[in-house]
């Protein structure tokens, strides 16, 4: 019995080591959203110039169909990486993608879409101080939200959407929600 007591420090060390080991694999940038299963925030965002009237993004536009909301900006470098893949997803016609041009000059935001392709059904502008983005709990761009038919946020992806995250994470959730 007393012998076992000498193993106590080793056991304590083991437990601490386990915590640290887990910490090594966590990404501190990925802050879990508290808005999951909550309704999308109230918004009524103006359209991008040159994209036509009634192409802005409002809360009501996100009801009735599973949809994606993608936060981007012409200043956002990771968005350039993600964008061709969004264009490809749009072509597949599985899910409508809406954009929020965050903290951007709307003219630049529109030009950027002309240059890199426009995968969006609707695009709303959210100039600084980005009130709608804050309502979405956005921590950076790009971020992509999955919104269900009832207009509830069901998933948030931080960082660019890659083929891997699309196949393994986003698409299965969308399929499930579409059932």
User: Interface with another protein by CB under 8 A: which residues?
Assistant: 28, 31-35, 103, 128-131, 133-140
Give the nearer residue to another protein in terms of CB position, either 121 or 135.
135
Q: Which of 145, 164, 144 is nearest to 154 (CA)?
A: 145
Give the nearer residue to another protein in terms of CB position, either 43 or 89.
43
Q: How far apart are CA 35 and CA 155, in angstroms?
A: 9
Check: CB of residue 72 under 8 Å from CB of residue 102.
yes
Cis bond before residue 61 (omega within 30° of 0): no
| Planar angle of CA 120, 124, 130, nearest 5 degrees | 130
Q: Which of 175, 60, 57, 65 is nearest to 121 (CA)?
A: 57
- Least gap, CB of 117 to another protein (angstroms): 25
Give the nearer residue to another protein in terms of CB position, either 35 or 58.
35
- Least gap, CB of 125 to another protein (angstroms): 15
- Least gap, CB of 28 to another protein (angstroms): 6
The alpha carbon of 97 is separated from its chain's Cα centroid by a whole number of angstroms, namely 11
- Least gap, CB of 46 to another protein (angstroms): 18
Give the nearer residue to another protein in terms of CB position, either 113 or 158.
158
- Tokens in use for 33? 């959203």
Cα(first)–Cα(last) distance of the chain, in Å?
58
The alpha carbon of 162 is separated from its chain's Cα centroid by a whole number of angstroms, namely 12
Give the nearer residue to another protein in terms of CB position, either 51 or 103.
103
């Amino acid at each position: 019995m007393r012998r076992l007591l000498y193993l106590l420090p080793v056991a304590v060390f083991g437990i601490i080591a386990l915590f640290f080991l887990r910490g090594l694999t966590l990404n501190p940038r990925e802050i879990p959203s508290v808005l999951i299963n909550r309704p999308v925030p109230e918004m009524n965002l103006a359209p991008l110039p040159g994209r036509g009237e009634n192409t802005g993004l409002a809360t009501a536009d996100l009801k009735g169909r599973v949809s994606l909301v993608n936060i981007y900006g012409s200043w956002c470098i990771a968005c350039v990486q993600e964008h061709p893949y969004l264009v490809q997803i749009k072509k597949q016609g599985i899910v409508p993608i809406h954009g929020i041009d965050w903290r951007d000059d709307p003219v630049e935001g529109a030009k950027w879409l002309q240059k890199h392709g426009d995968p969006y059904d609707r695009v709303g502008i959210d100039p600084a101080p980005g009130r709608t983005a804050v309502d979405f709990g956005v921590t950076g761009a790009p971020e992509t939200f999955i919104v269900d038919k009832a207009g509830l946020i069901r998933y948030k992806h931080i960082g660019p959407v890659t083929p891997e995250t699309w196949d393994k994470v986003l698409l299965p959730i969308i399929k499930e929600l579409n059932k």
